[in-house]
Copies of this chain bind each other. A is one copy, B any other.
Amino acid sequence: MKDSAHLKNNYRYFREFTTRWNDNDHYGHMNNSHYYAYFDSTIGQYLMNECNLSIKKDQVVGYVVHSQCNYVNSVAYPDELIVGLRVNKIGNSSVEYGLAIFKKGEEEASAHGTFTHVYVDRRVNQSTAIPEKVRSRLENLKV
């Protein structure tokens, strides 16, 4: 799987993002922390748009327990970016997403990484099984 993490055709769901002036840090590149904001905004859109998860009402939600990113080539405002999403593995209560950031029009990623969510029941603050409405849709993102 690792070898292919930089190629766009190894991702299953895509979102386009606009960069912002203050994404760039002193060196004139997008600061490393903002990549994660693109990653979890993409996951959030899949969960809300495709899995019918409500961040306002649902009591069972995914909390991030691990994230990581490999920075291959810099991006910078005002680049337009595409984020690709896939599922690397699903367990009973956790899922590891694979994500990559592409400059618009490019097939090789400027950065790629992973996000691991554990599903938590917010009422009792304990891990719980991934809700069925989510699990079935996550299977579609497996590569």
Contact = CB atoms under 8 A, between A and B. Distances in A.
Task: Classify chain A: how many residues form its interface, as a range.
Answer: 35 or more
Given A18-B15, A65-B71, A56 B28 contact: yes
A77 B41 contact: yes
A127 interface: no
B32 A67 contact: yes
A61 interface: yes
A33 B37 contact: yes
A108 interface: no
A44 to B, nearest CB: 5
Given A28-B56, A48-B78, A38 B65 contact: no
A48 B78 CA distance: 9
A106 interface: no
Contact of A28 (B26, B34, B44): B26
Interface of A: 15-22, 24-28, 31-34, 36-38, 40-41, 44-45, 48-49, 55-56, 61, 63-71, 74, 77-78, 122
Given A21-B31, A21-B41, A66-B71, 16 more contacts: A17-B18, A17-B20, A20-B38, A22-B25, A22-B31, A22-B34, A22-B40, A24-B26, A26-B28, A27-B122, A31-B37, A32-B36, A33-B33, A64-B71, A66-B68, A67-B71
